[in-house]
């Protein structure tokens, strides 16, 4: 019996429990303050980390929306520039074809004049 008593004393002395006495009290007896509740259930650092992550998500979403809006505006302006360039190219091609026809007509006249002038010298 003495041995059992000594073993119990040793167990009590070197064992510990993770459960504290305030976890067993009845919540109706005395309401916990916010400090006790935060201290016991959620560490303040965890609350701050979650808040920081939420703020980061909001910031990222706002930045993403702004970037998307900017990209859409840029695409629209580039599409307008491409359309204007195509119009300008078609006008230039048309003018070049006209100039080419004029040059061909001038060459034809020049050849005709050279033949007439060559024939008159003989």
pTM tops 0.75: no
* pLDDT category of residue 35 using cuts at 50, 70 and 90: low
Name which residue leads in pLDDT, 32 or 57: 57
CA dist., res. 29 & res. 50, Å (int): 32
47, 38 contact by CB (below 8 A): yes
The structure tokens listed for 69 are 């809006």
Q: Give pLDDT tens digits for 61-70.
A: 999 999 999 9
106, 98 contact by CB (below 8 A): no
All residues at 6 or more sequence positions from 38 whose CB lies less than 8 Å from its CB, including other chains: 44, 47
The structure tokens listed for 107 are 């060459």
Domain ranges of the chain: 2-121
Averaged pLDDT, 6-15: 71
Distances, alpha carbon 11 to alpha carbons 2, 4, 16, 21, 103, in Å = 14, 10, 9, 19, 114
The structure tokens listed for 113 are 């004049």
Q: Is 15 exposed, middle or buried (0-12, 13-18, 19+ CB in 10 A)?
A: exposed
CA dist., res. 36 & res. 38, Å (int): 6
């Amino acid at each position: 019996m003495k041995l059992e008593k000594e073993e119990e004393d040793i167990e009590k002395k070197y064992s510990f429990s993770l459960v504290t006495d305030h976890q067993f009290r009845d919540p109706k007896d005395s309401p916990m303050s916010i400090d006790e509740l935060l201290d016991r259930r959620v560490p303040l650092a965890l609350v701050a980390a979650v808040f920081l992550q939420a703020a980061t998500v909001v910031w990222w979403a706002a930045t993403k929306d702004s970037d998307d809006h900017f990209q859409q505006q840029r695409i629209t302006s580039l599409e307008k520039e491409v359309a204007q360039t195509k119009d300008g190219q078609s006008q230039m091609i048309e003018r070049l074809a006209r100039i080419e026809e004029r040059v061909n007509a001038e060459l034809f006249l020049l050849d005709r004049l050279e033949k007439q002038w060559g024939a008159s010298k003989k």
